[in-house]
Amino acid sequence: MAPRASWKGHLRLSLVSCPVRLYPATTTKDRISFNQLHKDTHNRINMKPVDPELGLVERSDLVRGYEYDDKQYVIIEDSDLEAVRIESNHTMNIEAFVDEDEIDLIYLDAPYYLAPDGALAEETFVVLREAMRRSGKVAIARLVLSSRERVVTIGARETGMFMCTLRNPNEVRGTSEYFGNIPVGDPDAEMLDLAQRLIEQKETKFDPRNYEDRYEVALMAMIREKLKGHKPVVAAAPERGNVINLMDALKASLGQSKPPAESKSKRAPAAKTAKDKAIEAEPAPKAKRTTRTRKQA
């Protein structure tokens, strides 16, 4: 089944436009999560809305309210939201182009894939994609997602485009509250040299497949043991030695560090990861998919 688009509209650059579809580039559906159950019956708990005066209420009786003062609300109807229509509701209008490295990483939020909506859109889409690829720039545009206008970046990625929403500046905290008391100045030259050499020893090419979620693997192993009626074996975290002297610790680290492994293309096939072994050890539990936790109202 084809994935469902999160947004459909037009991508426009000046007088050039084409229909496009937007898809989330990431998913969390395979993460382990839990449901809330009653401790005796193990029945799944239903979260129901509660009014402090009326008790349980029907969801159909709920309305939106904006708190403009302490416990003072203005009610927002569906018709009010419909009346707030701006161009970016259905059009992603490119306003500017910038170098990708000009965008501070702290502003990057949610990633999406952008694809043409239908065969008739493909020619225009490809022209815009290749123009951005050759210029080495990313586009800055706006669109409305989840009832909010979002500023986004758009760039070429493989045969499609990659879009990322940006956080609003008022959502990003300043650094002075956290960094204000950190000393300024150069550290000891010898210790700095040792630290730089330690960094050089650990340089490698980043491959996200090399960084599996070890907690997720251990959690699944524990779940499998419980399904088999066994008491899970709790593995203690490795002990860390106390750092008595920074200089000694840097020297000792350099002595025990090993150069990063060669790339996979230059070596024999890698051994199976802990995650692979955990999955192969036992057939996957028959999932009732009781894996989503509802948040408390």
Specify the higher pLDDT residue, 288 or 175.
175
φ, ψ of residue 177 to 5 degrees: the values are -65, -25
Residue 10: beta bridge partners?
19, 91
pLDDT band at 179 (very low <50, low <70, confident <90, very high): very high
Question: With respect to CATH, is domain 7-25+88-170 assigned 3.30.930.10?
Answer: no
User: pLDDT at position 258, please?
Assistant: 59
Specify the higher pLDDT residue, 51 or 213.
51
User: pLDDT at position 263, please?
Assistant: 43
Asked whether residue 279 carries a pLDDT value surpassing 70, the answer given is no
Q: Where are the domains of the chain?
A: 7-25+88-170, 213-233+274-297
Are the C-beta atoms of 202 and 254 separated by less than 8 Å?
no
Asked whether residue 291 carries a pLDDT value surpassing 50, the answer given is no
Asked whether residue 162 carries a pLDDT value surpassing 90, the answer given is yes
Asked whether residue 278 carries a pLDDT value surpassing 90, the answer given is no
Specify the higher pLDDT residue, 6 or 264.
6
Asked whether residue 63 carries a pLDDT value surpassing 50, the answer given is yes
DSSP letters for 136-188? TEEEEEEEEETTEEEEEEEEEETTEEEEEEE--GGGSPPSHHHHTTS--S---
Q: Is the dihedral of CA 47, 49, 55, 56 positive or negative?
A: negative
Are the C-beta atoms of 98 and 138 separated by less than 8 Å?
yes
User: Does the model's pTM come out above 0.75?
Assistant: no
Residue that the structure tokens 């840097």 belong to: 250
Residue 74: beta bridge partners?
66
pLDDT band at 261 (very low <50, low <70, confident <90, very high): low
Are the C-beta atoms of 235 and 225 separated by less than 8 Å?
no
